[in-house]
Chain A
């Protein structure tokens, strides 16, 4: 069932939530992307109330099958609100609802922001060549701004306390124990992560999917950072490692900051705004961790077909990408072996 069948209940909810006399929904359509969440574009007219006039909104709700560790929509709404208040460039969060009578499942509503998040145009479009370095620097500043959100926070009390990566390492191993095929490269890399944990830093709010493909560009301008469903307390370098992870470079493996620029531009923006100098060894740790995590997520995507029965080629085939992460893990952790392999090539 699509949201089109729930328009009356949804219009009534929007009216009540915004103190409008009436809301008329002119158009509602599923937006592209969003393997784990559904995003619906809504064009609506609000008669009176706080949003009086024509509004372009996004309703975000769960897809049929989610992946473990993603926040619920009400929790994501609270995170989005905290990020918005901290000055991070995000769509303005408006309402959240967990009443199944409205659209059948919990959802949040935010303003619809213009722009495209598609990764390859961002990394490959020649018209963006002149602005990519500045974009990387801007994203570094955005990340530093996000990290001004620190525990304890009453509004984010649902987020689990952060006590270093040991818990996540145990979770990755538990996942691998349940998986039918042994993954020796991931086991080898997990052992490295386990034995090379850096000294802890005070935890901050991590986006945990801060990467090219999850921010909107409106022309050459950053218009929003999206997809906050994995956010949580974590290490300040976790999002740095994730952003630079090879899996998110969209055809420009040479541009180590999200396929858009050299790392130094991204680092410069982050360091200037945060006042903290990045330690390459720490970042390397979190980049190794990022590749393990991405490999596990890719495998979990395939599980949605293998276990969940989701008839989606897109999710079923994503599991194959885990091996790309394993190659990168070998390249990061065995540079001599990489040189030997390249010499044969």
Chain B
């Protein structure tokens, strides 16, 4: 988890600390008291809170990095490159150039791994990819 910076003016504990405490309370103390048919709901709430906490921790850093990677890929700056990238992949635009195709795949891997790192890191780990994409970081 990234180091937690002290807020400029907001009261402590931080949002992230509160989320973590709330999730622990739900998972460890409340969920066991629920009837079996509501256990899954408690699990879903805990999962949603965990995703929110991980996204809050990660910020927008990796999204900006992928935007930059797409700007490099297309050799032009600006936003909205992801939609163009998707359209080009639909049309097989990089299939005649092995180096472009490989560069495109590298962006796909990065995008997918970063999303799963926030959404479902257990799934990454179960696929042997828990630290994938962290090379050189």
Number of interface residues of A (CB under 8 A): 30
Q: Which residues of A contact B123 (CB under 8 A)?
A: 324, 327
Q: Does B34 count as interface, using CB distance less than 8 angstroms?
A: no
Kindly provide the distance from the CB of B65 to the nearest chain A CB, expressed in whole angstroms: 15
| Residues of B close to A185: CB separation below 8 A | 108, 111-112
> Which of B106, B116, B120, B128 meets A342, CB within 8 Å?
B128
Interface of B is mostly: helix
Contact B129–A184 (Cβ < 8 Å) = no
Contacts of A176 in B (CB 8 A): 86
Find out whether the CB atom of B129 lies under 8 angstroms from the CB atom of A323: no
Interface-forming stretch among B4-12, B23-31, B41-49?
A: B41-49
Residue B51 at the A interface, CB < 8 A?
A: yes
Pick the most buried of A184, A190, A313, A323: most chain B CB atoms within 10 A of its CB. A184
Residues of chain A within 8 A (CB-CB) of B130 are 345
B108 touches A314 (CB 8 A): no
Number of B interface residues, CB 8 Å? Answer: 42
Q: Taking the complex as formed, is A69 at the interface, i.e. its CB lies under 8 A from any CB of chain B? A: no
B92 to A191, Cβ gap below 8 A?
A: yes
Q: Does B56 contact A (CB under 8 A)?
A: no
Which one of A173, A190, A191, A314 has the highest number of Cβ atoms from chain B below 10 Å of its Cβ?
A191
Q: Is A36 in contact with chain B by the CB < 8 A criterion?
A: no
- Tell me the minimal C-beta distance from B74 to chain A in angstroms: 13
Q: Which residues of A contact B (CB under 8 A)?
A: 32, 173, 176, 182-185, 187-188, 190-191, 195, 253, 313-314, 317, 320-321, 323-324, 326-327, 330-331, 334, 337, 341-342, 344-345
